[in-house]
Amino acid sequence: MAKADKPTVQPPDLPSDAPVDSRPEAGIDTGRQAIQTALETMPAAPGVYRMLAQDGEVLYVGKAKNLKNRVRNYAQPAGLNTRTLRMIAETRAMEVVTTHTEVEALLLESNLIKRLRPRYNILLRDDKSFPFIVITADHEWPQLAKHRGARNRKGEYFGPFASASSVNRTLNTLQKAFPLRSCSDSIFSARTRPCLQYQIRRCAGPCVGRIDGEAYGELVSEARDFLSGRSREVQTGLSERMEAASANLEFETAAIYRDRLRALAHVQAHQGINVASVAEADVIAIHMEAGVSCIQVFFFRAGQNWGNRAYFPSHGKERTPGEVLAAFMGQFYDDKPPPREILLNEWPENHALIGEALSVKAGRKVRLHHPERGQRRELVNHAQTNAREALARRLAESASQRRLLEAVAELFALDGPPRRIEVYDNSHIMGTDAIGAMIVAGAEGMQKNAYRKFNIKDENITPGDDYGMMREVLHRRFARLLKAQAAAESAGDDESLAARDDENARVAGEWPDLVLIDGGLGQLTAVREVFADLGVTGVAVAAIAKGPDRNAGLERIFLPDKPAITLAPRSPVLYFLQRLRDEAHRFAIGTHRARRAKRMDRSALDSIAGVGPGRKRALLNHFGSARAVETAGLTDLESVAGISKTVAQKIYDFFHPEG
């Protein structure tokens, strides 16, 4: 494995998209030499290669059936496009990982791209997991619930659903058709009388014995069959029972079956398109325009449409639809189970290899299909239409966002449109539960996965000291950036540190172009003091303060060593800055309220060593309140189940330190 040169943190004077010949520090010849050096020890085997910049940043991750042959192409750059030449010019070292097969290389490549996010790869911007419906199997009375995240609870999972709204809509209908409990196990065990869900016929009331285990088991079985695609059998069974009840003059029972049938019909009537012949498939369609692409994914499970989602991968303008689709599918299914069938409007590059890799990942055959006619073609056309319309909306929004960022760059005298804007605000009540909040915005709008909160920890800060709180938040934020940058610079060749180095590289890449503070000249001065103390340079900073009487539209913008600026009340830039400030304020207030609510839920019992949730529950159940525990005598404490004499003495001593 080739070793990287010792990295340096000196940033280039020109942006990364400058022409190659204007970047003397990253010349083509130097990059070719680094690749030639790596080729000397490059194996002729399947695997994954990484191209590294001088500061250790991973520029590109690629896979190959024969690493030596594939990488040799970069050492002969004639005929390569400008973006690839720029990547070669920035390359200073290479790393390789060999695999047994090309399929393994493809799976590893997708995983590394998603984790490292190299800027010369096609990147899928996907930070959300998909929701599922789960029928639990770890309780005597199974629960029907929404689930997101790791499947660490025993049960059957059905999905994915495209969004929380689609899974909530389906759950709402399922509870009408199959009145299974949706409450948590703790609420279920504590219930002594039927809840509202029972009153509106969305739960059979197993918690209070309104249904026996056998009948409840039938409901569970019917719900499972419906979610598994056997809806016709379920409807037939309900219809037969409704007719039988009606024949026996049991009209109330017949009405219950009728309502359940209507609920199932409601699900099928709102599919939008007929999908009866498609049991389990993802429909993926790409549309490209102006060097930008949109990929629309529809999820079909159990013969039902479970929603759709649009993706906008990041890639160079020279990429083809097949290349983008191939990269998208590798990253999309990296952490998601692929369905049995994937319908496509374009063949992805190396589609046979992708199909084999997905089959290996799923442990069963996964079929890629590019339909030319029939119902499946209609589904693909429908997805393609949605992709085209979503891209048109995106391009219109992007053009508007780009103009706003260019205007922001002009206002704050930046070198170019800011890629990352960080906005900071504080929230507290008379100094209690103080928090700092940071939101991030850029060319793609609000980047909510990059939001951060800071619990104010410095006990020397006077309660309510906004300037002191701002100093702490900015100091912690930029001290971490500097530390991560230094660690990324000095990262050696120890592979055991790879994960840590990747995290440092990620954090080090989060430097903002503009820091915006919710406040006035005092807050701006506090931030400048932090920057001076840490030695932070090259980051523009400004503060935006509300006008007289806190009127929106009369805001003043404070810049270092310059008079305050007041923008025209109808200025688009002013509206943009107001949105940023208001979003930071919203996030800060919400975080503060959550922290305050959590503190109010705590009692003095939480501060006693040896008293965990179980003993706390036993004490509260025995005495009724924390106040009653505080005034209880030692003998009374010892009489509580689960409280030993030693623990009882600890509790008593905690509340009676003078004794």
More confident residue, 230 or 134: 134
Over the chain, what is the mean pLDDT?
A: 82
- Residue 434: its H or E element: strand 432-442
Confidence category of residue 352, pLDDT binned at 50, 70, 90: very high
Domain count, the chain: 5
b/e string for 439-452 if b means 16 or more Cβ within 10 A? bbbbeeebbeeebb
Question: Angle, nearest 10°, between helix axes 351-362 and 321-332?
Answer: 10
Same domain, residue pair 441 and 533: yes
- Is the per-residue pLDDT at 251 higher than 70? yes
- Phi/psi of residue 156, nearest 5 degrees: -105, 130
Collapsing DSSP to helix, strand or coil, 288 comes out as: strand
Confidence category of residue 507, pLDDT binned at 50, 70, 90: low
Angle at 227 between CA 261 and CA 262, to 5 degrees: 15
**Which residues span the domain enclosing 66?**
20-116
- Is the per-residue pLDDT at 207 higher than 70? yes
Contact 314, 292 (CB under 8 A): no
Q: Which of 82-91, 93-102, 355-364, 421-430 has the lowest mean pLDDT?
A: 421-430
What is the C-alpha separation between 203 and 182, in angstroms, rounded?
Answer: 8
Same domain, residue pair 143 and 193: yes
Same domain, residue pair 431 and 326: no
Give residue 220's identity as a one-letter amino acid code: V
Whole-model pTM: value is: 0.61
Strands 155-158 and 144-148, bridge-based pairing: unpaired
The CB density around residue 226, as the number of other CB atoms within 10 Å, is: 23
Tell me the mean pLDDT in the region 331-354. Answer: 91
- Is the per-residue pLDDT at 373 higher than 60? yes
The CB density around residue 526, as the number of other CB atoms within 10 Å, is: 23
Strands 514-518 and 540-545, bridge-based pairing: parallel
Q: Which of 255-259, 431-435, 536-540 has the lowest mean pLDDT?
A: 431-435
For the chain, percent of residues with pLDDT exceeding 70: 86
Q: Check residue 347 and give its pLDDT.
A: 95
Considering only CA atoms, which of 205, 155, 337, 190 is closest in space to residue 145?
155
3-state SS of 36-94?
A: HHHHCCCCCCCEEEEEECCCCCEEEEEEECCHHHHHHHHHCCCCCCHHHHHHHHHCCEE
Give residue 583's identity as a one-letter amino acid code: E
- Is the per-residue pLDDT at 502 higher than 70? no
Q: Which of 89-103, 206-220, 297-311 has the lowest mean pLDDT?
A: 297-311
Domain end (from 81, 116, 151): 116
For the chain, percent of residues with pLDDT exceeding 90: 28
Same domain, residue pair 388 and 260: no
What is the C-alpha separation between 222 and 205, in angstroms, rounded?
Answer: 17
Strands 304-311 and 341-344, bridge-based pairing: unpaired
Q: Strands of 280-289's sheet, edge to edge? A: 304-311, 292-301, 280-289, 341-344, 367-369
- Is the per-residue pLDDT at 570 higher than 70? yes
How many Å is the Cα radius of gyration of the chain? 30
What is the C-alpha separation between 487 and 504, in angstroms, rounded?
Answer: 6
Confidence category of residue 128, pLDDT binned at 50, 70, 90: low
pLDDT tens-digit readout, 15-55: 333 333 434 344 788 888 999 999 989 999 999 999 999 88
Q: How far is CA 417 from CA 255, 263, 427, 508, in A?
A: 63, 52, 30, 20
Confidence category of residue 3, pLDDT binned at 50, 70, 90: very low
Confidence category of residue 625, pLDDT binned at 50, 70, 90: confident
Helix%, strand%, coil% for the chain, nearest 5: 50, 15, 35
Considering only CA atoms, which of 231, 226, 197, 203 is closest in space to residue 142?
203
Same domain, residue pair 368 and 509: no
Q: Check residue 108 and give its pLDDT.
A: 92
User: Which CB contacts under 8 angstroms, 24+ apart, belong to 626-634?
Assistant: 629/605, 629/655, 630/604, 630/655, 631/655
Give residue 566's identity as a one-letter amino acid code: T
What is the C-alpha separation between 125 and 292, in angstroms, rounded?
Answer: 14
More confident residue, 182 or 599: 182
Collapsing DSSP to helix, strand or coil, 240 comes out as: helix
More confident residue, 302 or 352: 352
Contact 363, 336 (CB under 8 A): no
Confidence category of residue 529, pLDDT binned at 50, 70, 90: very high
Same domain, residue pair 624 and 585: no
What is the C-alpha separation between 319 and 291, in angstroms, rounded?
Answer: 8
Is 125 among the domain residues? no
User: In this structure, what token pair is assigned to residue 279?
Assistant: 């049991």
Same domain, residue pair 588 and 470: yes
Q: Check residue 11 and give its pLDDT.
A: 33
Q: Which of 264-268, 323-327, 492-496, 543-547 has the lowest mean pLDDT?
A: 492-496
Considering only CA atoms, which of 238, 195, 247 is closest in space to residue 219?
238
Is 13 among the domain residues? no
- Is the per-residue pLDDT at 164 higher than 50? yes
Q: Check residue 14 and give its pLDDT.
A: 32
Is 11 among the domain residues? no
Tell me the mean pLDDT in the region 410-419. Answer: 88
What is the C-alpha separation between 311 and 295, in angstroms, rounded?
Answer: 5
User: In this structure, what token pair is assigned to residue 362?
Assistant: 């799923």
Is 608 among the domain residues? yes
Considering only CA atoms, which of 579, 433, 455 is closest in space to residue 518?
579
Is 407 among the domain residues? no
- Is the per-residue pLDDT at 505 higher than 80? no
Confidence category of residue 127, pLDDT binned at 50, 70, 90: low
Confidence category of residue 524, pLDDT binned at 50, 70, 90: very high
Q: Which residues contact 473 (CB under 8 A, 6 or more apart)?
A: 424, 426, 436, 438, 454, 456
Is 373 among the domain residues? yes
- Is the per-residue pLDDT at 94 higher than 90? yes
Tell me the mean pLDDT in the region 601-618. Answer: 74
Same domain, residue pair 285 and 243: no
Q: Check residue 395 and give its pLDDT.
A: 81
Same domain, residue pair 191 and 157: yes
- Is the per-residue pLDDT at 615 higher than 80? yes
Q: Check residue 252 and give its pLDDT.
A: 78
Tell me the mean pLDDT in the region 568-595. Answer: 86
CATH number at residue 63: 3.40.1440.10
Same domain, residue pair 219 and 323: no
Considering only CA atoms, which of 398, 177, 612 is closest in space to residue 620?
612
User: In this structure, what token pair is assigned to residue 12?
Assistant: 């280039």
Same domain, residue pair 368 and 352: yes
Q: Check residue 504 and give its pLDDT.
A: 63
pLDDT tens-digit readout, 417-428: 898 999 999 887
Chain centroid, CA 624 distance in Å: 41
Strands 155-158 and 131-136, bridge-based pairing: antiparallel
Contact 140, 109 (CB under 8 A): no
Q: Check residue 356 and give its pLDDT.
A: 93
Give residue 288's identity as a one-letter amino acid code: M
Q: Check residue 652 and give its pLDDT.
A: 84
More confident residue, 321 or 546: 321
Q: Check residue 366 and give its pLDDT.
A: 93
Is 539 among the domain residues? yes
Is 388 among the domain residues? yes
Same domain, residue pair 154 and 94: no
User: In this structure, what token pair is assigned to residue 219?
Assistant: 């409901």
Q: Check residue 216 and give its pLDDT.
A: 92
Q: Check residue 236 and give its pLDDT.
A: 80
